[in-house]
Every structure is written in structure tokens, then in C-alpha cells.
Amino acid sequence: SAVHLDLASLDSVRAAAAELSTLDRIDALIENAGAIMPSKTRELTVDGNELMFGTNHLGHFLLTALLYPTLAKTPGSRVVTMGSGATRLTGIRLDDLQSARKFSAWAAYGQSKHATQAFGFELDRRLRASGGPVTALVAHPGGGQDGNSPARLGVIEPTTGQRILAKLLFFVGGGKHTAAWPAVRAATDPDARGGQYWGPRGGLSGRPRNGKPARVSHAPALGAALWAESERLVGQAFPI
């Protein structure tokens, strides 16, 4: 069965979480959905948050907070937040998380992915400190291109031109199917540990491995400040 979820709407997140909370258990929560530079101009969610920050981070933060009780009662459960290699080329501004003062689609996207990574690492720190029963990890997909992906009717249907372009411009990258491997490994590998950062061995492609994230995303001070601000923005306390 499917549950409707629009991460750009906090009300939709609450409704989806209420439905999912009726489950007896949740073994893994992979926070893979996201908006990737949908426009060159700054756009807002229905709640008034910058679209990429609101969708990629705040929606997932609220979803995790609301589903945590079910995750906590499920032995061996895991939360995998989805980062990006873009964090190695961008920064994050705590004083302008919503990119209100200065907007660049690329910078705002990178900032939203710094936030998802920082959230995952801060979640791991808090779980370790409290002895919480959930394991938190972060993954990144590398360079998954539509043109390098198997066709899936109604989901991904690359044209011949897209396939040729992908081979020419992204010859070191993989497809959407290989981009899923790091998150799947983080969610299911019995040897994976909390706080790890799973991504393709070659950066853009290759078998998944535990690697090192951008230092900025891993900073405890950023994680703590972002956590408090996220609670305020979504109107939901998330104590662990």
C-alpha cells in the first residue's frame, strides 16, 4: 500500500506520520525524497519556507520526530538521511538558512543537503548520548543520471538523446539504480554503524562504502543549532 506524503507541506507530513504510526513496526526510514534546483528564483513551500530547505530538510525532520516512537519500539530500526556530494562545494549559513537575503539555486540546494547531513549526524550523537534504540546513518547517491538508468514506465523513461548525453558528460557516474545502493546498504548492512557516511567508492559511482563527509556538516555546533531551529520552524519538539 502507499501513503501520500508531500514533504513541502508540514500538514501533509503530519497526516502521513499519523497513518504510518498505526503500523506495529518501522524497520527503516530512508529519507530519500527531495527537490533539486526546481527554479532559478526563490520559491516557498505552503508553510513559507524556502522550497529546497523546507522539502529536503524540514519535512524529513518533522517526519522523523513524529515517527520516532514507532521506530524506537522496533528492534534494530534505522534512520538514513540522504546527503549529497554538493556539500563539498557549498556551505551553510545559519543566519540565512532560508536563503532570504541572497539566493542562488545551487547554493540553496547545497545548504539544504548540509542540513540533511547535519541532522543525521546530530541524530546519531543524541541517540548515542541517550542510549536510544535507533541507529542513524547518512548516505549520498553519487552521480545518478536519468540517462544511465534502466527505463521504468512512468518513472524514468530516458530518451536516446539523454542516454548519449549521459555517456558523454557523466561517463564516471551511474544511474538511479546504482545511486540507491549506498542508502540500501546503510539501511540493511548488519555491519553498518551509527554515524557512518555511505556513498559510492569512486565519489560519483562504484560500490558503496563508508567514507568521510564534508567537515562542515559533521560539526556538533552546527547540528545542535540546526536542531533547535528546526524544532522552531516545524513547531514540533524532538527530544531524545
- Residue 138, strand partner residues: 81, 197
Helix (H) or strand (E) holding 61: helix 59-72
How far is CA 212 from each of CA 42, 159, 224, rounded to the nearest angstrom? 31, 35, 20
For residue 92, give the C-alpha cell: 551553510
197 as an active site residue: the answer is: no
Choosing from 61, 68, 109, 121, the catalytic residue is 109
The span from the CA of 182 to the CA of 163, in Å, is 23
Q: For residues 58 and 37, give the distance between their C-alpha atoms in angstroms, rounded to a whole number.
A: 16
The catalytic site residues sit at 109
